[in-house]
Amino acid sequence: MKGLWLAVAAVVLSGCGEPVRVESAGVGPITGVTTVAATVVERAGVYETAGTVKARSAATISAKWMGFVRVVKVAVGDRVTAGQLLVMLDARDLDAAAGRARAAIPEAESGIAAARANLELAQATFRRMKELYGKKSISDQEFDEASAKLRSAEAAEGLARARRAQVEQEVRAADVARSYAEVTAPFAGVVTVKSVEPGNLAAPGAPLLTIEGGGYRLEAEVEQGQKVRAGEVVSVTLDGVARTIAARVSEVVPSVNAASRAYTVKIDLPADAAIRSGVFGRASFASGGTSELAIPAAAVIRRGQLESVFVVDGGVARLRMVTLGTEANGSVTVRSGLSAGERVIAPAPAGLEDGARVEARP
Classified by CATH at the fold level, domain 18-43+291-360 comes out as 2.40.420
Classified by CATH at the fold level, domain 47-59+215-289 comes out as Elongation Factor Tu (Ef-tu); domain 3 (2.40.30)
Is the Cβ–Cβ distance between 234 and 47 less than 8 Å? no
CB atoms within 10 A of CB 341: 12
pLDDT (tens place) for every residue of the chain, 362 residues total:
333 233 323 333 334 444 544 444 445 454 456 888 999 887 767 788 999 999 988 999 999 888 899 999 999 999 999 999 999 999 888 888 888 888 888 988 899 999 999 999 999 999 999 999 898 888 999 989 999 999 999 999 999 999 889 988 988 888 888 888 899 999 999 999 999 999 999 999 899 999 998 889 999 999 888 888 899 999 999 988 888 889 999 999 999 988 888 999 999 998 877 888 899 999 988 876 677 899 999 899 998 889 999 998 888 888 999 999 888 888 899 989 999 999 898 888 877 888 888 775 54
Is the Cβ–Cβ distance between 129 and 143 less than 8 Å? yes
Q: Which of 353, 236, 338 is nearest to 294 (CA)?
A: 338
Helices 140-179 and 92-134 pack at an angle, to 10 degrees, of 160
CB atoms within 10 A of CB 116: 15
Is the Cβ–Cβ distance between 307 and 342 less than 8 Å? no
CB atoms within 10 A of CB 71: 12
> What are the beta bridge partners of residue 292?
41
Q: Is the dihedral of CA 87, 93, 96, 97 positive or negative?
A: negative
Domain residue ranges in the chain: 18-43+291-360, 47-59+215-289, 92-170
Single-letter residue type at 237? T
Superfamily of domain 92-170: Helix hairpin bin (1.10.287.470)
